A and B are shown apart, each in its own frame.
Chain A
């Protein structure tokens, strides 16, 4: 094996450009009586080994990620549909400007994200702080709060949600006990998105676990110092816990915003794939699926994909820009 490696590396060494392209894996047998001793052999051997370890990832990166990304950008300037398409320039992007359904989809996605993410993170932070007090049974509570976020993305849970918030669902049965008559939350254009927001908030467990890990990282000496200086519990919370936790809050915020812009399954299941009622749960991702895989208007769908990517990139960048004003990084490290 090593002889082989050396031989191949020797053959390749003079090729320009440091990272050799993902060539097919080393031929099994290549008898080559090249002398083994020479300058840079160990280094080249390491490079060759790195290439062979990396080759699945590199092929995947080129064929499954970057290639399709470039293709998607190209397709967004065509009217490609099932094997046939022509260059149409910026027509798809012009079409977006007066597509009321698209504008609605952007609005629905934005409302969903900017309502559900803050609520979800607030719940996660609150519970993390409560659980961090080291109460007995904390592991049990942590598990119970975490479980929904493992299950939340599944079709089964979306089905459950659809029934719970249905006209004769669990929520309305409970409301009836209080003498309140509910509506069909899932089938009402004013409330359907709300049920999806509640579902998202329900899955606060995973940011909660991250907050818990962050809280553990805060050195107790800060609290002791604050106590010596006479700070009460509230003061310690606002002046020690929160500032030292801001990097974690920021991290969760970035992550959850990116994730929630891409939500698909729950809205798809709850609206039977229609984004209804009255397009009130038509996320950008659902609209993309509808255009690309139902209407097979893949050119336009690609343009929508790039709009989605641009929106996510802009909000992530904004997040990073604004983080300068509120995220506190300790000056050590």
Chain B
């Protein structure tokens, strides 16, 4: 009895497993091969630009390979000083806007999110719907009156038009992100805090904010990347040469001398992409979470 049950089914599974092992092994290899080819195609332009930033100009136009034959380090020095200001000026300007935007988004969006997620007040549902609607509103529809408004305030050619909206939680996407996150926190914590004598502000500051760190990190990283990459509103509000940011400086560089000096232009492009790449490496977990839970790049 025992022997029959042992011996009869035994050969079939092993053979099948062996066949399947070979098949999946081959299939896995093909998958990896195709994926690697696809990944190479995706990443090749970036690697090529990195290598081109070290190439002399004639080599950029002649050699599609990834290793420079002659290393032209001077591209970086040249690009750094090619514009009216040294490049650190533009980096500094971008950083100021980025820092203001991050602080603004973290404070204002988390406050609104706390109210939406935890407090009861009239028309909450309607206001929440309005908030969701503003995520989808194209900036192009409001940019002209905004420009007129900021122009009348004397704020054109200052950083204020780029920072003040963030202090007023106009990046509704992050409000939504944090509402979703706060809703996932157990309400008992709020109640315990309230019994211990915490008011709404105390609960917000001492209970909700510390627990929201992952959502806050996601917000900070996305704000960094979006603001660092932002071109449209900086193009509109910053015309003064002293206030140019990294994207504006690159554009200026390209339109003035860039097409004759690709090496230096690429070098500065690499400098511009560097911080994003750094955040990508350091904060990937938060980025993926942010996208996966809310669905916006």
Contacts and interface: CB of A to CB of B under 8 A. Distances in A.
Given A133-B31, A154-B272, A301-B144, A53 B114 contact: yes
Interface stretch (A31-39, A168-176, A237-245): A168-176
Contacts of A133: 31
Interface string A297-329: 010011001101100100010000000000000
Contact of B297 (A68, A206, A269, A272): A206
A259 B139 CA distance: 11
B111 A159 contact: no
A22 B255 CA distance: 45
A154 B175 CA distance: 24
A71 B147 CA distance: 11
Given A154-B229, A159-B250, A53 B170 contact: no
Interface string B83-122: 0000000000000000000000001110110111001111
B46 A147 contact: yes
Contacts of A259: 297
A115 interface: no
Interface string B112-142: 1011100111111001001100101111111
A151 B273 contact: yes
B221 to A, nearest CB: 10
A154 B276 contact: yes
Given A1-B201, A155-B251, A60 B297 contact: no
Nearest to A147: B280
A116 interface: no
A114 interface: no
Interface residues of A, number: 95
B138 A309 contact: yes
Interface residues of B, number: 95
B137 A65 contact: yes
B8 interface: no
A103 to B, nearest CB: 18
Interface stretch (A93-101, A224-232, A260-268): A260-268
A293 B296 CA distance: 28
A145 interface: yes
A50 B39 CA distance: 48
Interface centre among A155, A159, A261 (most CB of B within 10 A): A155
Contacts of A151: 46, 229, 273, 276-277
Contacts of B167: 56, 60
Contact of B247 (A75, A154, A312): A154
Interface stretch (B13-21, B209-217, B258-266): B258-266
Interface string A126-139: 01001101010100
B269 interface: yes
12 contacts: A45-B200, A47-B122, A49-B201, A60-B165, A69-B137, A147-B280, A148-B43, A155-B247, A160-B45, A262-B140, A285-B140, A293-B147
B292 interface: yes
Interface string B195-232: 00001110010000000000000000000010011011
Interface of A: 1-2, 18-19, 43, 45-47, 49-51, 53-54, 56-57, 59-61, 63-65, 67-69, 71-72, 75, 80, 127, 130-131, 133, 135, 137, 141-151, 153-157, 159-164, 168, 170, 173-174, 177, 202-203, 206, 209-210, 212-213, 251-252, 255, 258-259, 261-262, 264-265, 268-269, 272-273, 285, 288-289, 292-293, 298, 301-302, 305-306, 308-309, 312, 316
B61 to A, nearest CB: 4
B284 A47 contact: no
Contacts of A154: 228-229, 231, 247, 272-273, 276
B269 A261 contact: no
A133 B34 CA distance: 14
Given A262-B139, A268-B231, A156 B297 contact: no
Given A56-B168, A261-B138, A46 B121 contact: yes
B141 to A, nearest CB: 5
- Interchain residue pairs A-B with the least CB separation, the first 7: A60-B168, A18-B122, A156-B269, A206-B297, A71-B145, A68-B145, A213-B292
Given A142-B288, A151-B276, 11 more contacts: A50-B124, A63-B149, A68-B143, A69-B145, A151-B277, A156-B270, A156-B272, A159-B258, A162-B254, A251-B295, A301-B144
B254 A159 contact: yes
Contacts of B258: 159
Contacts, number: 268
A202 B296 CA distance: 16
Interface of B: 28, 31-32, 34-35, 38-39, 42-43, 45-46, 48-49, 52, 60-64, 107-109, 111-112, 114-116, 119-124, 127, 130-131, 134, 136-149, 165, 167-170, 175, 199-201, 204, 225, 228-229, 231-232, 235-236, 246-247, 250-251, 254-255, 258, 262, 265-266, 268-270, 272-273, 276-277, 280, 284, 287-288, 291-293, 295-297
A179 B60 CA distance: 19
Nearest to B229: A154
Given A285-B140, A301-B144, A150 B225 contact: yes
B119 A53 contact: yes
Contact of A173 (B32, B39, B63, B124): B63
A316 B135 CA distance: 14
Given A65-B170, A144-B39, A308-B140, A150 B31 contact: no
